[in-house]
Structure 1
């Protein structure tokens, strides 16, 4: 028996695929079995042997990414030259009404980036939720870009062009009053 962070890091040190490591670590955090802080602490106590890939895989998770696809998006955004933003933060309108929790949020220009996989959005409930979310974005005046996860690796240059174009579109209009915290 070992605590979850220890078990995750022990397993990660034995794996050789960054995607596998990232998926396992993200799953443990997303399902709230442990936190990124606990994984970091465990990595720091593990010494150096076999920790290079787990350390690399943990970086996007520390920034707020929740999956391998979001980690790919995190890397792509960092290379884009666009300003920093927030991963998986809830956003609200000026009255405190919840809008969404975008995969990525650039608060500077009120721009949302969603990494929308067919698998998680194709069933009737998932599709309904995605359409409702996009309607809330539109009603709030938010520019949103949706990207398929596979394109992050197969068409990274095209995705970066789309990101820059969507960012410019968000920059060109008055920023809507969108908040990262609910108004009390």
Structure 2
């Protein structure tokens, strides 16, 4: 349940002094977002968001000042079967007619290792915004980013769907939803 937004174009050189911001955009063809929720207490259902947009701005010398923007097109949502898809797109869950996107905007990163971090930000779904923390793994240390190579990351968080007004089928569908973002960012 996350969302997308394009970022401004970088200034003249992508590789610049360590104090400069490096800008990347999500490569939608090499990125995906999934949301998994328990079902009947013994199984799970997974929704896929094939239309992902956004990007990341980072300063290798000041990684705490990150900006991660992930926007999902809920109208393109995919599910394992037509009944589930119809329910997920309905006003009981994503209400895609009134809320065609879900967006995560990360504003602060805390490195927990050379390639692991947490990113604090806000998730907006169905017009409701709540704070969320992503646990992130990078393919390469972000502190060594130059602006020439892609940035690959995998991130995960858990949310309570009822916090976003998705409270239908409480006896059948679990409250906790696990969101996984796999993204490749390319220099913008």
TM-score category of the 2 structures, normalised to the smaller one: under 0.3
Which structure is higher in helix share? 1
Q: Which has the higher contact order (CA 8 A, sep 6+)?
A: 2
Whose radius of gyration is greater, 1 or 2? 1
TM-score, length-normalised on structure 2?
0.24
